[in-house]
């Protein structure tokens, strides 16, 4: 499965490097990559990577094989970059099926329920949680809402918007 990784912002230096603004989910976890797909005229075109390195928290520098000059890479400015991702992998170190059965709690130790299903949506997962009263609620499993994940005890602590359980 291909996932949006970022967008080429500008050329960097004179050796064909480009600055890539990476998507938030990759800020702290840039995956190992040998190739990427650039979206050119609506199509994803594969390119091998010569080299890449982090450049601050939200950006990285990328050199594409056989495109090591400013003239060759300037046409890629604005292109979206996609990478191949294992479809069972979401959050770093957590697979979708691995969190089924996890207990969801809030910061104040209020038990919300148990994860019964995970649905992948663009940009985030949506988890189905069965509450103690037997109701099912849908919760966005987004990094901004996750406080901690304890895989050993199968517990996830989240910050949930007030009234979320009344929406579902």
What pLDDT is stored for residue 97 in this prediction? 65
Residue range(s) in the chain whose domain bears CATH number 2.40.30.60: 2-84
**pLDDT tens track for 127-139:** 999 988 888 999 8
What pLDDT is stored for residue 92 in this prediction? 40
Q: Give the H or E element holding residue 73.
A: helix 70-73
More confident call, 96 vs 108? 108
Share of the chain above pLDDT 70, in %: 86
What pLDDT is stored for residue 88 in this prediction? 42
Neighbours of 90 (CB within 10 A): 21
Q: Give the H or E element holding residue 136.
A: strand 136-141
**64 pairs with which residues across the strands?**
49, 67
What pLDDT is stored for residue 111 in this prediction? 85
More confident call, 148 vs 85? 148
What pLDDT is stored for residue 18 in this prediction? 95
What pLDDT is stored for residue 17 in this prediction? 93
Q: Three-state DSSP class for 147? A: strand
Residue range(s) in the chain whose domain bears CATH number 2.30.30.240: 96-161
What pLDDT is stored for residue 90 in this prediction? 44
| Fold topology of 2-84 | Elongation Factor Tu (Ef-tu); domain 3 (2.40.30)
Q: Is the pTM of this model over 0.75?
A: no
For residues 31 and 92, what is the distance between their CA atoms, to the nearest angstrom? 9
**pLDDT tens track for 53-103:** 988 889 999 999 998 889 889 999 999 999 887 544 444 445 666 789 999
Q: Give the H or E element holding residue 113.
A: strand 111-121
Q: Which of 168, 45, 80 is nearest to 117 (CA)?
A: 168
Out of 3.60.15.10, 3.40.50.10680, 2.30.30.240, 2.30.30.40, the CATH code matching 96-161 is: 2.30.30.240
What pLDDT is stored for residue 96 in this prediction? 62
Averaged pLDDT for residues 34-51: 91
């Amino acid at each position: 499965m291909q996932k949006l990784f970022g967008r080429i912002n500008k050329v960097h230096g004179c050796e064909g490097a480009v600055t890539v603004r990476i998507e938030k989910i990759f800020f702290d976890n840039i995956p190992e990559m040998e190739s990427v797909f650039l979206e050119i005229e609506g199509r994803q075109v594969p390119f091998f990577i010569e080299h890449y390195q982090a450049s601050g928290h939200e950006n990285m520098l990328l050199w594409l094989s056989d495109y090591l000059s400013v003239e060759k890479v300037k046409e890629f400015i604005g292109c979206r970059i996609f990478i191949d991702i294992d479809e069972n992998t979401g959050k770093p170190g957590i697979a979708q099926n691995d969190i089924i059965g996890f207990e969801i709690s809030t910061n104040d130790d209020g038990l919300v329920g148990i994860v019964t299903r995970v649905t992948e949506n663009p940009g985030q997962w949506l988890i189905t949680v069965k509450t103690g009263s037997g109701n099912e609620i849908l919760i966005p499993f987004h990094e901004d809402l996750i406080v901690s994940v304890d895989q050993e005890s199968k517990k996830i602590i989240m910050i949930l918007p007030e009234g979320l359980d009344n929406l579902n």
